[in-house]
Amino acid sequence: MLAFRAYLRGLIAARHARPHDDLLGQLVTVEMAGDRLSEAELLTTCVTLLTAGHETTTNLIGNTLYTLLQHPDQLQAIRQEPARLPNAIEEVLRFESPLQRNPRRLAQDYTYEGHLMGKGDFVLQMLGSANRDPAIFAAADHFDSQRQPNRHVAFGFGLHFCLGAPLARLEAPIAVQLILERMPKLRLAQPTAQWMQHSLVRGLASLPVVF
Ligand code: HEM
């Protein structure tokens, strides 16, 4: 993290020296009601944007390939009709949610299934679990690439709904479509891939394929 912040400090200094019309250049000069981002706020915002925007979408792409390769009939239908891909990616967001949990501090006391949680307590919203809730999703543990409706919460909900959801929804279909086009014979090299051992992020450590 220290190295990451030092790297960003260099980029920020360069933007101060020479204004640039990219995102960082705009953040450096942004002003709201005469107030600017302090350096600490700027660094934290950049770290958030870079990590939130990179790791998640990378894993969505990997999770999509793995899940589709495990469901060859559905993959075949998508190859024949690429317009089906965006729905399939929504289903991967539900089925293998790249971000598994959100941290929250409770604004008031709350009792859930007999468990009292107090105001100020730190709790985790389990997004991956909510996305398999049988009360919401029929056959929740079944991957249905054309599931409708599919009101998953993989991008969170409410005030903090993912800022980058539209970008992720642009990037992932482009990447997956190109891989499918370039590798018409793509298949798994072994029946199961290896997941990263991580309680926040759901993504693959490796995905051996043959093409
Ligand atoms: C598959 C890709 C992605 C997934 C699954 C994902 C997931 C999420 C989730 C669940 C939240 C809610 C966090 C909370 O409520 O505490 C969130 C927030 C956020 N995401 Fe994403 N994200 C993705 C891609 C991106 C991208 C591409 C960017 C930026 C380029 C991004 C930037 C952010 C930011 C800045 C927030 C905080 C929003 C706020 O607190 O108001 N995300 N994301």
Average pLDDT over residues 115-128: 96
pTM, two decimal places: 0.93
pLDDT at 133 over 80: yes
- Ligand 1: centre distance to CA 57 (Å): 10
Task: Ligand 1 pocket test: pick from 41, 56, 176 the residue with the most ligand atoms within 8 Å of its Cβ.
Answer: 56
- Ligand 1: centre distance to CA 51 (Å): 9
Task: Ligand 1 pocket test: pick from 163, 167, 198 the residue with the most ligand atoms within 8 Å of its Cβ.
Answer: 163
Ligand 1 pocket member 56 (CB < 6 A)? yes
Q: Using the CB atoms, write b or e for 44-64: b if 16+ within 10 Å.
A: eebeeeeeebebbbbbbbbbb
Average pLDDT over residues 116-121: 96
Closest CA to 103 of 126, 119, 120, 129: 126
pLDDT of residue 175: 98
Average pLDDT over residues 93-116: 96
Sequence-ordered list of residues with C-beta below 8 angstroms from that of 153, at least 6 positions apart, any chain: 127, 130, 131
Could you give the C-alpha distances from 61 to 92, 104, 110, 122, 181, in angstroms and in order? 9, 27, 37, 31, 15
pLDDT at 208 over 90: yes
Closest CA to 85 of 150, 155, 174: 174
pLDDT at 32 over 80: no
Copy the structure tokens of residue 25: 């250049």
Task: Ligand 1 pocket test: pick from 46, 92, 162 the residue with the most ligand atoms within 8 Å of its Cβ.
Answer: 162
Domains observed in the chain: 57-99+131-210 (1.10.630.10)
Q: What is the mean pLDDT of the chain?
A: 95
pLDDT at 121 over 90: yes
pLDDT of residue 67: 98
Say what percent of the chain tops pLDDT 70.
Answer: 99
Average pLDDT over residues 47-59: 93
pLDDT at 33 over 80: no
- DSSP summary character for residue 116: E
Question: pLDDT for 153-192, tens place per residue?
Answer: 999 999 999 999 999 999 999 999 999 999 999 999 999 9
State the chain's maximal CA–CA distance in angstroms: 59
